A and B are shown apart, each in its own frame.
Chain A
Amino acid sequence: AQSVTQLDSHVSVSEGTPVLLRCNYSSSYSPSLFWYVQHPNKGLQLLLKYTSAATLVKGINGFEAEFKKSETSFHLTKPSAHMSDAAEYFCVVSDYTGGSYIPTFGRGTSLIVHP
């Protein structure tokens, strides 16, 4: 069975400082991993995904994540936070089952950006 743990429910940073959102996963197979962002009253938007190609994945809006199999981690980073980055972030692991990919979501990390 697959699972995903987002290690921080809230992360608070100042604008212009680095962002680190942590995610550990558990999966029986070679998983696909995703990060999504959800702004208030909006649906989820894909930031980036890992599907067994390069371990360092670049996404939109300057975000990137590194897949580390030995640590079963897929942490999300950004060098410099912007006020518009304030949102809820979800780490997702997806395994192939029943003829399709079924995602399991982390509980989310709320990113707070201070001016």
Chain B
Amino acid sequence: KAGVTQTPRYLIKTRGQQVTLSCSPISGHRSVSWYQQTPGQGLQFLFEYFSETQRNKGNFPGRFSGRQFSNSRSEMNVSTLELGDSALYLCASRPDRGLQETQYFGPGTRLLVL
């Protein structure tokens, strides 16, 4: 089975721009979560989608949004980019909403905001 894939792997943007990141989960996985990883704050949960619905959300401003499509692929959008948004954005998928809460992570998208 193919793993979680994220595109693009690297991205450079300037302040004020917006960016969209994409995540394709493992086939059959319906839950997709997004995380931000920075040296200062570590790994922080952004949000989780299940069956095209946002199920949980972390403590991030409204500039961070996401969505999930019927094939479980997910996108994350950040509007009005700030320098502090520079980070590794990780996507993770898991099979279902039951007790199988082990997540499988993608390689991440590294975003640099100049």
Contacts and interface: CB of A to CB of B under 8 A. Distances in A.
Interface residues of B, number: 22
A103 B102 contact: no
B42 interface: yes
Interface string B18-55: 00000000000001000000000011110010100001
Contacts of B4: 43
Contacts of B106: 43
B99 A100 contact: no
A98 B102 contact: no
Contact of A100 (B31, B102, B105): B31
Interface of B: 4, 31, 42-45, 48, 50, 55-56, 90, 92, 97, 99, 101-108
Nearest to B41: A107
Contacts of A107: 42
A60 B56 CA distance: 30
Interface residues on A, range: 20 to 34
Contacts, number: 51
Interface string A47-88: 001010000000000000000000000000000000000000
Interface of A: 32, 34, 36, 41-46, 49, 51, 90, 94, 97-108
B34 to A, nearest CB: 12
15 contacts: A32-B101, A42-B107, A43-B105, A43-B107, A43-B108, A46-B103, A90-B43, A99-B55, A100-B31, A100-B97, A102-B45, A102-B48, A102-B56, A103-B103, A105-B44
